[in-house]
Amino acid sequence: METATQQIVGRYEPEVAELTLSAEQKALARETGSREAITLAANAYRREHLLNLTPVQVVKKLYDTAIFSLKNKDYDLAHRAISQLIIGLNFDYEELAGGLLGLYMYIKECIRKNNIAEATDLLEELREAWAQAFKL
């Protein structure tokens, strides 16, 4: 069973999965003409890929998903990705987690007020800082 985070970050993974099908899977799909075979293989790849991400990579994927969703006007998915970022905050580091919580709540408010450009800019800055901090 997929977690909420896996469902959210996996939403746009099928395109990647289809590119990584084995020759056998591609041959099966061509033989049968079955889009279902491709979909099943892509879903298997997606599940396996997401299960093997480190927590640091999951946060990056959540940022990527939120940004991609905003650019594609999928505001519900962006909201859910940001909610998963909030859920993942570690309040053992109260000052840092509190600051990020404030930013995430502000980003959600920007989305609610249809200030998508500001929300996207903030998420892109946070994603870049995260990537630099963890050399991703």
What own/partner pairs with CB < 8 Å and gap ≥ 24 does 128-136 have?
Answer: 130/56, 130/59, 130/60, 130/63, 131/60, 134/56, 134/60, 136/56, 136/57, 136/60
Residues 106, 66, single domain; the answer is yes
| Pairwise CA distance, residues 18 & 38, whole Å | 7
- Tokens representing 79 are 């909201």
Quick one: 61 and 95 in the same domain? yes
What value, to the nearest 5°, has the Cα angle with vertex 9 and ends 13 and 79?
135
Whole-number pLDDT of residue 16 = 39
Task: Look up the pTM and report it.
Answer: 0.70
Tokens of 114: 């249809």
- pLDDT band (50, 70, 90) for residue 15: very low
Out of 35, 51, 67, a domain closes at: 51
Q: How far is CA 18 from the centre of its chain?
A: 18
Res 53: pLDDT: 79
| pLDDT tens sequence across 16-59 | 344 445 566 666 666 665 666 566 666 666 666 667 778 898 89
CATH code of residue 62: 1.20.120.340
